[in-house]
Amino acid sequence: MQQQDLAVIILAAGKGTRMQSSLAKVLLPLEGHPLLHYVLDLSSKLNPVRTIVVVGHQADQVKEAFAGREVEFVVQSEQLGTGHAAQQVQPLLKNFEGSVLVLCGDMPLIRHETILRMIDEHKSSSAKCTVLTLKSSESHDFGRIIRENDGSVLKIVEVKDASEAEKKVDEFNSGVYCFDNRLFFKALGHVGTDNVQKEYYLTDTIEYLVRNRYSVRAIQTKDANEILGINSPDDLSRAVRLLGEHRGPS
């Protein structure tokens, strides 16, 4: 049965320059399927009322590859950051009441159970935003979760903008979020480009919500493999190995 109070946005507009391929990143094959296939499968298991994919690079090819799926597409014509990508969805969800789950189209290994736990805790806590984070003693090239002294989430700092002290934080952003729909787009409207990359960061919505005293929660995973984003040929090889391990011996 469809969850009438859940919509899914999948960010899939990136070119994937480091992949050394002419294909859009979400079309790169992993065990016989494009990367985006795995994220769409996850979304379908959640039974959302709508699944919207933000496409950009090779948008027509991505649409064609998934023409048979129950998804909607919206085009980010300029690559101006994750916040800008998410803003493109606003006209489609302007009348939607409920929660919006934001997923990354290049993250094929995230578990259905983890997302269900995240959504359940988001709803039961009445939070306006819930972030999936990784708690790890290892170093990762992800944004850092900055917390107040009382443990509450304060903001997310992208690694390129982080101070040396912030880079020592051992809780990392996964890029997966659950938002109250109306507050999500309100927060996106206040995101600017005052950062190293001069992009609209989706992560800056967190600081806006906290500053305006809305509840933001973090749900942790300790499995870095689960939030592996495919950004290099090495990442893709690692994903192939991990999928094989998950299936077990043939």
Task: Please list the active-site residues.
Answer: 18
Cβ 156 vs Cβ 144: under 8 Å: yes
Cβ 74 vs Cβ 190: under 8 Å: no
| Residue 73: Cβ-neighbour burial (10 angstroms; 0-12, 13-18, 19+) | middle
Q: Give the number of other Cβ atoms within 10 Å of residue 133's Cβ.
A: 22
Cβ 171 vs Cβ 145: under 8 Å: yes
Phi, psi (degrees; rounded to nearest 5) at 159: -60, -35
Q: Return the DSSP state at 25.
A: G
CA gap 115, 177 in Å, rounded: 10
- Continuous segment of H or E residues that includes residue 62: helix 59-65
